[in-house]
Structure 1
Amino acid sequence: MNNDEKGRLRERTKAFALRTVRLYSALPKTTEAQVLGKQLLRSGTSVGAHYREASHARSQAEFVSKMEVSLQELDETAYWIELLVEAGIMTEARLASLQQEANELMAMIASSIITAKSRKPDR
């Protein structure tokens, strides 16, 4: 991944976090919505934090580890979005673009992990 791609991914993961914050703020104040929303908020905002940690990794193994955590958090965020829709708390149409961004970020991060794993290990 070149520096432009790294910068773009950094921007997108931060924007994703901000979108999850705004979504949480827009949720109904029912117990169910708030419980699911807090889970979404936690996982959605941690994606970018883990990506930033990965960008400062001291080794290839540490990079892969942090990126894998970021990928797990994205997958978890997608799960909470699905639950918000399936529980009838938010409409699928309202959350479609956030779900699409989660899917795109997962593909990008998974590709980066595969590339890093295929490289010769640090010495």
Structure 2
Amino acid sequence: MKENIVKNKSFDFALKIIELYKILQSEKEYVISKQILRSGTSIGANVAESVAGVSQADFVHKLTISSKEARETIYWLQLLKQSELVNLDIDLSSYINDCNELIRLLTAIVKTINTKSN
């Protein structure tokens, strides 16, 4: 079976988000941490669902949702970073960069499928 790069990267990103969530919880940050957990892990969940899509349109739809969740995750990460709500010893830029990479991959896949369909 061919390696699914976007599936692997989104899963790895979800694990990274879970670790960030644990750190934020230990710092008693409960609101934004839950938002980041939800949107950050939803990226991979929708990618996983897309693999079992019942049609090409369903596949594209799930990947589009993944892309939207990634954009939402970036929003929460930027808000957390710029608000200085908690003092973190980690660089949130790496999370944002990982998320942007996922968006680029998802966008490329959707564009390729849409181009082939037309």
**Normalized against structure 2, the TM-score is what?**
0.90
The residue that corresponds to 2:2 in the other structure is: 3
2:53 counterpart SS class: coil
Q: How many residues align?
A: 115
Unaligned runs of 5+ in 2: none
Query: Residues 92 and 60 from structure 1, CA distance in 2 versus in 1: closer, same or farther, beyond 3 angstroms?
Result: farther
Post-superposition offset of 1:114: 0.6
1:8-45 residue CA offsets vs partner (Å, 9 max, x unmatched): 2211111100111100110110xxx3101100000001
Percentage of pairs with the same residue: 34
- Is residue 63 of structure 1 aligned with residue 59 of structure 2? yes
Deviation for aligned residue 1:66: 0.4
Moved over 6 A (4+): none
One-letter identity of the residue aligned with 1:104: E
Query: For residues 67 and 85 of structure 1, do their structure 2 counterparts lie closer, same or farther at Cα, with a shift above 3 Å needed?
Result: same
CA positional deviation for 1:100: 0.5
> For structure 1, which segment, 82-91 or 37-46, has the greater mean C-alpha deviation from structure 2 after superposition?
82-91
CA contact (8 A) 1:84 1:90 kept: no
When the two structures are superposed, what TM-score results if normalisation uses the length of structure 1?
A: 0.86
Question: How has the CA–CA distance of structure 1 residues 92 and 110 changed in structure 2, closer, same or farther, with 3 Å as cutoff?
Answer: farther
Partner letter of residue 50 of structure 1?
Answer: N
Cα distance in structure 1, aligned partners of 2:107 and 2:87: 28
Which one of 18, 21, 25 corresponds to residue 15 of structure 2?
18
For residues 85-109 of structure 1, give each alpha carbon's deviation from its aligned partner in whole angstroms, at most 9, with x where no partner exists. 0110255961111111000010000
Determine whether 1:77 maps to 2:76: no
Q: Distance in 2 between matches of 1:104 and 1:73?
A: 13
Give the aligned CA root-mean-square deviation in angstroms: 1.8
